[in-house]
């Protein structure tokens, strides 16, 4: 049987909630947000492999998949996905699923969402953190 890189890697899946919109002053008014999705390699020595980053809307429908092939994130490197404030398709319950691989006994990656918007003289920002589901 031929050797492959994936034979020597540990696989994982992480869920990240993000918000392209939030409710404001009731259920019929929403506020649009810019989303920054941060994929961070927390290892000082080993590369992180992201096989898939899939974006879902509030109803669980797949909106888009990022990356046509596995991407490599170098030690301590961060790669970001930006969802523009005008892109409201994700809605109030948008989320990501990330499939990734690391060498055994390596720090797991960190996935964070940063949501921000400014309107007039007010600013709004908050963060979410991914949770490993597999």
Residues near 7 by beta carbon (within 8 Å), at least 6 away in sequence: none
Residue with tokens 């000082």: 44
- The pLDDT assigned to 3 comes to 46
Is 39 in contact with 79 (CB distance < 8 Å)? yes
- Domains identified in the chain and CATH numbers: 9-119 (2.60.290)
pLDDT digits (tens, 9 = 90+) for 64-114: 999 989 999 999 999 999 999 999 999 999 999 999 999 999 999 999 999
- What is the share, in percent, of the chain residues with pLDDT greater than 70? 95
**81-97-38-65 Cα dihedral, nearest 10 degrees:** -20
- Say which range, 9-23, 39-53, 116-130, has the weakest mean pLDDT: 116-130
pLDDT of residue 123: 86
**Does residue 4 register a pLDDT over 80?**
no
Nearest CA to 90 among 121, 56, 124? 56
């Amino acid at each position: 049987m031929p050797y492959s890189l994936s034979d020597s890697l540990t696989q994982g899946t992480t869920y990240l909630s993000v918000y392209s919109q939030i409710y404001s002053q009731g259920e019929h008014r929403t506020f649009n947000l810019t989303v920054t999705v941060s994929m961070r390699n927390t290892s000082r020595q080993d590369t992180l492999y992201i096989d898939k980053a899939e974006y879902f809307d509030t109803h669980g429908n797949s909106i888009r998949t990022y990356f046509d092939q596995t991407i490599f994130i170098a030690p301590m490197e961060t790669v970001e996905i930006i969802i523009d404030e005008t892109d409201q398709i994700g809605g109030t319950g948008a989320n990501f699923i990330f499939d990734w691989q690391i060498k055994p006994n390596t720090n797991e990656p960190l996935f964070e969402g940063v949501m921000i918007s400014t309107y007039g003289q007010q600013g709004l920002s908050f963060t979410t953190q991914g949770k490993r589901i597999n």
